[in-house]
Structure 1
């Protein structure tokens, strides 16, 4: 490899081109080229992973939702007959429709390679709710994990929510992350319905900094269960207030006296 990396560059016709290391093989060129290749593999492929926000007359959704697909929307399974396949999680179609524009700018940001992820995303999102797709080349590789760096998104982090099932993948902006348990393949799972309800509630509340909400829920082992509990308490309180408003107002003795004097 060092010999190959140390060879001088050539033009389209195959002629050797002289660079700062000369025309022949160079150990220094080999080292420099290796560092460049290593950097390309470890760092995101570009400084701005998303284009500039949409400008009027187009409508830019107020929040950006970044989500992993593996463990969140699908589960990889392997069989001798079919090899590797991705099992679709219950509620995927509803979830993508519910959190798509205009509430959220939806972005798939996956640790999968483009070769693996493209057909999966195409199969899941045939209606085109996902606005952008980012693959493994858009992550940092720290030697063990592919880490997602939201600072490369070209978006205000106050308005960015990242859905994942691996804490290590979101460690750079942990306060922006909503980490769920990895889907185990249960056909009766309802987490995506609850997650859609949570995200819709957050968006309709017009939260200025989503990190304050995410920090609160991520202190619990099951944030979705805590959200369901809070929603139930809210519904009970709203029902109590409604019943209070519908109660007939009881007249006091003073009211009766006033009406008697009027007669």
Structure 2
């Protein structure tokens, strides 16, 4: 088992002119943040002439059917649905395996943040599992780099992502995961989202895009000073929305008070004008 990152510099040096290097780096987990895995046993025939890749499925403890035999990975593309099916060598009417559901808002997140953030997928999954999934959710190539399980530190039973190994200014790095242990070495560089359960009405990624875009457009010098304020929140996105609503309410109240003061000033000026005209 690999317990240290494969390199002390997991990413190449930042781009230099004439190439564009976004001012911030966004590091995203794949599983339960962008995709939701579901184990299923389905009576779906294998597709003929589909390329197969040898793979031990990512969660072998759940593989009761055919345990200990050779499995294969095959990828089906459907609207909002990706499937990894593990089957035996011979075609079978029973297709058993992992289905990965695409979270609503992935495309919006990438499109909104790509000009502001260098987007990196850093997942605790193996490269064999994750690579085709990333290809499927990012056909336009917004993701600049991909890091997998072999780039993590294995500490106390958890795959920890060490921000100091990314070869980036840590004051400009935001790591998004659903497990706080993933960024335990740099807790104020991370955001722990609520684990996505596959709900198709979920709006978290839209709200996340708004949150991260606000940070970038504000020109924050050190993202840790912002993320620290959300470190103890069970749901930092909901906390951000509450604070935004409160600020909007306060601003609305301030504008109403200014309008009232202006109205009163106009009224007093009108009364004074009539008074002086009556004296002439």
TM class, shorter-chain normalised?
A: 0.7 to 0.9
Q: What is the DSSP-based 3-state SS (H/G/I as helix, E as strand, rest coil) of the residue aligned with 1:116?
A: helix
Q: 2:97 aligns with which of 52, 58, 83?
A: 83
2 CA distance for matches of 1:258 and 1:121? 76
- Inter-CA distance 47–193: structure 2 relative to 1 (3 Å threshold): same
| CA shift digits 1:120-165 (9 cap, x unpaired) | 1011111111111111111112362211111110111111000001
1:93 aligns with 2:107: yes
Q: Is the 8 A contact 2:122 2:147 kept in 1?
A: yes
Question: Which segment is superposed worse, 108-117 or 87-96?
Answer: 87-96
Q: 2:133 aligns with which of 113, 120, 126?
A: 120
Task: Name the counterpart of 2:91.
Answer: none
Which has the higher Rg, Structure 1 or Structure 2?
Answer: 1
| CA shift digits 1:186-242 (9 cap, x unpaired) | 111111111111001111111111111111012222211111111112222333344
TM-score, structure 1 as length reference: 0.78
2 CA distance for matches of 1:179 and 1:151? 18
Task: Name the counterpart of 1:63.
Answer: 24
Flag structure 1 segments of 5+ consecutive residues without an equivalent: 1-37
Q: What is the DSSP-based 3-state SS (H/G/I as helix, E as strand, rest coil) of the residue aligned with 1:250?
A: helix
1:169 aligns with 2:186: no
1:256 aligns with 2:273: yes
CA RMSD across the alignment: 2.1
How far residue 262 of structure 1 moved from its aligned partner, in angstroms, is: 9.9
Q: Is the 8 A contact 2:187 2:231 kept in 1?
A: no
How far residue 94 of structure 1 moved from its aligned partner, in angstroms, is: 1.1
Greater per-residue strand proportion: 2
Question: Which segment is superposed worse, 166-175 or 251-260?
Answer: 251-260
1 CA distance for matches of 2:26 and 2:151? 16
Flag structure 2 segments of 5+ consecutive residues without an equivalent: 43-95
What is the number of residues matched between the two proteins? Answer: 223
1 CA distance for matches of 2:105 and 2:125? 22
Q: 1:47 aligns with which of 8, 11, 15?
A: 8
TM-score, structure 2 as length reference: 0.74
2 CA distance for matches of 1:190 and 1:259? 61
Greater per-residue helix proportion: 1
